[in-house]
Amino acid sequence: MLNFDYLNNLNEKQKEAVTYLNGPLLIVAGAGSGKTKVLTSRICHIVLSGKATANEILAVTFTNKAANEMLSRILNNLKKKKFGMPWVGTFHSICVKILRKHARAADLNYNFTIVDQEDQKKLIKNICKSENIDTKKISPNYILNIIEKWKNKGWYPKDVILKKNEKIETSFLKIYEIYQSKLIDLNACDFNDLILHCIKIFENNPDITKMYSKNFKYILVDEYQDTNFIQSKWLNLLSIENKNICCVGDDDQSIYSWRGAEIKNFLEFDQVYENTKVIRLEQNYRSSQNILSVASDLISNNQNRVGKTLITTMEEGDPVQLNCFKNGKDEAIGISDEIEKKIKKKFSYNNIAILVRAIFQTREFEERFLKIGMPYRILGGTKFYERAEIKDCVAYLRLIHQEKDDLAFERIVNNPKRSIGDSTLKNIHEFAKENNLNLERASIKMLEQNLIKPKAKIGLSLFINSLMKWRNDLIVKKSSHIKLLQIVLDESGYSAMLKNKKDLDNENRLENIKELLSAMKEFDNLESFLEHVSLATSVDQEWDGEKINMMTMHAAKGLEFDVVFLPGWEEGLFPHQKSIEEKGQNGLEEERRLAYVGITRAKKKAIISFSMNRFYQGDWIDSMASRFVDELPEKHLEKNSFFDEEINNDDDFDFNQDFEIEEGTRSPGWIRYQKRIK
The H or E element that residue 629 is part of is helix 627-630
State which amino acid sits at residue 677: I
pLDDT value at 240 more than 60: yes
Range of lowest pLDDT (312-321, 373-382, 536-545): 536-545
pLDDT recorded at residue 51: 94
Instruction: List the beta strands (DSSP E) in 345-431.
Output: 352-356, 376-378
253 catalytic per annotation: yes
Q: What is the mean pLDDT of the chain?
A: 89
- 3-state secondary structure string, 148-191? HHHHHCCCCHHHCCCCCCCHHHHHHHHHHHHHHHHHHHCCEECH
**Residue 655 pLDDT:** 36
Scanning 287-357, the segments in alpha helix (DSSP H) are: 289-299, 328-338, 344-346
Q: What is the biggest distance separating any 2 CA atoms in the chain, rounded to whole angstroms?
A: 92
Quote the CA–CA distance of 406 and 666 in Å, as a whole number: 41
Rounded to 5 degrees, φ, ψ at 21 are: -125, 15
d(CA 567, CA 287): 19
At 522, the pLDDT band (50, 70, 90 cuts) reads confident
With beta carbons less than 8 A apart as the criterion, state whether 302 and 252 touch.
Answer: yes
Distance from C-alpha of 544 to C-alpha of 541, rounded to nearest angstrom:
9
Query: CB of 250 within 8 A of CB of 600?
Result: no
Amino acid identity of residue 612, one-letter, is M
Distance CA 188, CA 165 (A): 33
Active site residue 35: yes
Q: How far apart are CA 345 and CA 338, in angstroms?
A: 10
Please report, rounded to a whole number, the percentage of residues in the chain having pLDDT higher than 90. Answer: 72
- Identify whether the C-beta of residue 265 lies closer than 8 Å to the C-beta of residue 233: no
Residues 80-111 pLDDT 10s:
756 678 899 999 999 999 999 999 999 999 99
Query: Is residue 20 scored above 70 in pLDDT?
Result: yes
CB neighbours (10 Å) of residue 194?
A: 23
Contacts 24+ apart (CB under 8 A), 75-81: 77/5, 77/6, 77/40, 77/41, 77/44, 78/44, 78/47, 78/48, 79/3
**Identity of the residue numbered 547:** K
Q: Is the confidence at residue 546, as pLDDT, over 70? A: yes
pLDDT of amino acid 123: 94
On whether the CB atoms of residues 357 and 631 are closer than 8 A, the answer is no
Nearest to 573 by CA among 529, 619, 616: 616
Q: What's the pTM?
A: 0.85
User: In the annotation, is 149 catalytic?
Assistant: no
286 among known catalytic residues: no
- The DSSP letter of residue 473 is H
The DSSP bridge pattern shows strands 188-189 and 113-114 to be parallel
Distance of alpha carbon 117 from alpha carbon 120, whole angstroms: 5
- Please say if the pLDDT value at position 622 is more than 90: no
Element of type H or E holding 621: strand 619-622
pLDDT at 677 over 60: no
Span 246-287, pLDDT tens digits: 999 999 999 998 888 999 999 999 999 999 999 999 999 999
**Cα Rg, the chain, nearest whole Å:** 28
- Res 237: pLDDT: 97
Give percent helix, percent strand, percent coil of the chain, each to the nearest 5: 55, 15, 30
Tell me the C-alpha to C-alpha distance, in Å, between residue 430 and each of 74, 260, 423. 62, 50, 11
What is the identity of the amino acid at 588?
L
Burial class, 134, CB count within 10 angstroms (exposed 0-12 / middle 13-18 / buried 19+): exposed
| Choice among 253, 312, 361, 552 that is catalytic | 253
Q: Nearest CA to 252 among 27, 29, 537?
A: 29
Q: Which of 217, 329, 601, 604 is catalytic?
A: 601
As a whole number, mean pLDDT of residues 413-439 equals 93
Q: Comparing C-alpha atoms, which of 259, 294, 277 is closest to residue 145? A: 259
Query: Which one of 19, 36, 382, 537 is the catalytic residue?
Result: 36
Using DSSP, state whether 220 is helix, strand or coil.
strand
Residue 398 a catalytic site member? no
Q: Which of 223, 405, 473, 622 is catalytic?
A: 223
pLDDT digits (tens, 9 = 90+) for 334-366: 999 999 999 999 999 999 999 999 999 999 999
Contact between residue 260 and residue 603 where contact means Cβ atoms under 8 Å apart: no
Distance CA 262, CA 227 (A): 6
Q: What pLDDT is recorded for position 503?
A: 63
The one catalytic residue in 13, 35, 383, 387 is: 35
CA dihedral 185, 187, 189, 194 (to 10 degrees): 130
Residue 307, classified by CB atoms within 10 Å of its CB into exposed (0-12), middle (13-18) or buried (19+), is exposed
Q: Does 36 qualify as catalytic in the annotation?
A: yes
Terminal Cα distance for the chain, rounded: 71
pLDDT in tens, 560-594: 999 999 999 999 999 998 899 989 999 999 999 99
Residue in 132, 120, 39, 21 with CA at minimum distance from that of residue 77? 39
Residue in 193, 222, 330, 406 annotated catalytic: 222
Instruction: Identify which has the larger pLDDT, 303 or 662.
Output: 303
d(CA 608, CA 320): 8
Tens-place pLDDT, residues 640-671: 877 666 544 443 333 333 333 344 445 555 45
- Integer Cα distance of 110 and 603 in angstroms: 49
pLDDT recorded at residue 651: 38
Q: How many residues does the chain have?
A: 678
